[in-house]
Amino acid sequence: MRSTAPKDPMHTHYDAQVNALQGGRFKDPFSFLGVHSYKSSYEIRVFLPAAQSVSISINDKKIAAKRYNNSDLFIACVTEAPCAPYMCEATYSDSTLCFFDEYSFESSLDKDAMYLFNEGSLEHAYKHLGAHFVSQQGIEGVRFCVWAPNAASVSVIGEFNFWQANRHFMRFHPASGVWELFIAELKADTCYKFSIVTQSGEVLEKADPFAFKMQQAPGTASVLQQTTPAIKLSDSALKNRQKRNHIDAPVSIYEVHLGSWQRAEGNRYLSYNELADKLIAYTLEMGFTHIQLMPISEYPFDGSWGYQPVGLFAPSSRFGDYASFKYFIEQCHKANLGVLLDWVPGHFPSDPHGLHHFDGTHLFEHADVRQGFHPDWNTYIYNYDRPEVKSFLISNAMYWLEQFGLDGLRVDAVASMLYLDYSRKEGEWVANCYGGRENLGAIECLKQVNLRSYKNNPGIMMVAEESTAWPGVTQSVEHNGLGFGYKWNMGWMNDSLHYMQHDPLYRQHHHHEMTFSMVYAFSENYILPLSHDEVVHGKGSLIEKMPGDEWQKFANLRSYYAFMWAHPGKKLLFMGSEIAQRKEWDHNHSIDWHLLEHKSHTGIQNTVQALNNIYKTHPALYELDSSPAGFEWIDNNNNEQSIFSFVRYAKNAHDFVVVIANFTPVSYRNYELGVPSAGKYKVILNTDEDSFFGSGVEVTANAQGVISAKKRNAHGFAHTINISIGGLTTIYLQRVEDE
């Protein structure tokens, strides 16, 4: 029971502090708690809610502390100030606890780093802010740091203090707007948050923006995570990364949503460790060079697929812990399999424990709804003009690239960042300082992310999902570009899918949809994407987009894939599309692997596997993806037959592949085609083969699949070949011998 002794008139001036502490609102706890001189001696003041008695241990000597009036403030008088952190022993109704007084530790905040953070150039803010296991003055514990410059008070709350906001008040650093506190002897996997009192008196409970681990829904807390050193890539691994991501390398990306690629019994998620065994092996078997993970930065709602993250520094614990994710990435490295991660710097959700209205003000987002809110996604937009927000995003990109040694980031929704009027009507947006619609802050932020990412991580690839004609997306920053390495070719994707959905009878009227991409094919470094966006929201799966009867659907898809793999640009295919998934993608269920019981679906899988293997072993199909020297039309005007023919060249111009794509069900015998030179031509791919579930139309007159070119002018070439081509078929030919 608390003492009911009358107030000590010597300490009546503490009443205001006690009331503030009791109410959980104290901005400068170190000015009052801990050791302070008092008259000719010292007082040690501790505030411990619900404690019955408290003693202080200094040099193996216990000093009893007296309760201040009827409050939770305890004061011990000492003649000399302790020169090191001291222990407190607090007795409660059901227990006795011993702990180091948080207010006996010095600040360990790096002022130089905070200067860079406030300047907008701190590349490794995640090493300074957030919760870190550190040793302070010889004591092991956790240092908490959070940026909340406009808060009236901030406390650390968690399982260790029964979520009491009046127990662990943080130290405020006015120069940086950062709050800091060291708490000794905390353990990993302990939940915590920040209790923030706004200037208006509202109390907010926020997750840590820099947390390395977070609870799964319905939990909203951050979780203390003991991190390990960054993955150190060997010299050979660095060389492999640079080689596989280079502009003249074969890049074939398998886009994966980890939660629905495959499920375990009972519809359970596979863990990172299980995925390391199964997903990597399958991706290699299929011949892909890279895996692209849809966002795994922690997100509360499964249906957002990760595109509305609240924990930008936390690999989702749906699939395991931090160490398990690291193991998955390391296994990819061992397999020489590139790993790209979807990165979402364009917006964040409105979850109350997230970044929105973080310290009672629009800290991370623009205050003006015309700049700070996405009407399409019901999300908030980062204030890219704010230096600290820029440091936050730059350091997040560095975190994924440097801590895990990733091959790169695919930046989501870049167009929404670049344009102030993105998806807005007249009067619903605010022009920049020059009266234009360009988001100057976002442009500069993207440039800085790309510059620093490439400088600090040689050999990576930064990829933009940019759906407009913004110039210079893959130009260097020095040449006034955005500095990306690659850009998704959304125009090719839209046009070609639109073409394929037409009945072959009418394709002749839409011929330009398959040829127009070559008008701009070399203006950027492109990736051709058939991503998850094309198989959701009522769009249907790729196989169901194809017209015709059952056989024609599969023949269309095989021919289309082969056309895509031959078209200039790197490749990306969403999971399930390689087996002709029938249903739209559903994030709640596995891919329908049972479809592989049918030859038609196995045929699509075999086609994709063959395409990847041919692609990787024929430099003509990838070396000059971004150069006009790598492509030449043979005939781009045959709209009546809907046949497209072209040549892909390697850097060695004598090494080339001839491509013929027939997008009608009509088969042709002795089809005459101009070719670049004399010699013999061998069929290296025919999507109409029996092994692909094709009709098996013989392409050549001999079993070896070889055709001799004749001296005859056709299509602007001095030599021709005659070939049979099946309906809805794409064929690759390689010259194998000079005559």
Active centre residues (catalytic): 412, 465
Neighbours of 55 (CB within 10 A): 17
Residue 296: partners with Cβ closer than 8 Å, 6 or more residues away: 258, 306, 315, 316, 319, 325, 341
Distance, CA of 284 to CA of 30 (rounded, Å)? 57
Q: Are strands 178-184 and 171-173 parallel, antiparallel or unpaired?
A: antiparallel
Q: CA-CA distance, 680 to 736, in Å (whole number)?
A: 6
Residue 381 near residue 439 (C-beta atoms within 8 A):
no
How far does CA 174 lie from the centroid of its chain? 33
Q: Are 487 and 527 in contact (CB under 8 A)?
A: yes
Side-chain-side CA neighbours of residue 530 (13 Å): 26
Cα gap 143→133, rounded to integer Å: 6
Contact of 489 with 569, CB cutoff 8 Å: yes
Cα dist. 514→63, 518, 623, 624 in Å?
Answer: 85, 9, 22, 20
Q: With 0-12 CB in 10 A as exposed, 13-18 as middle and 19+ as buried, what is 59?
A: exposed
Residue 658's CB is within 10 A of a number of other CB atoms, namely 26
CA distance 197 to 26: 9
Dihedral (CA of 608, 614, 620, 626) sign: positive
Task: Give the CA distances from residue 78 to residues 51, 91, 101, in Å, rounded to whole numbers and listed in that order.
Answer: 21, 21, 16
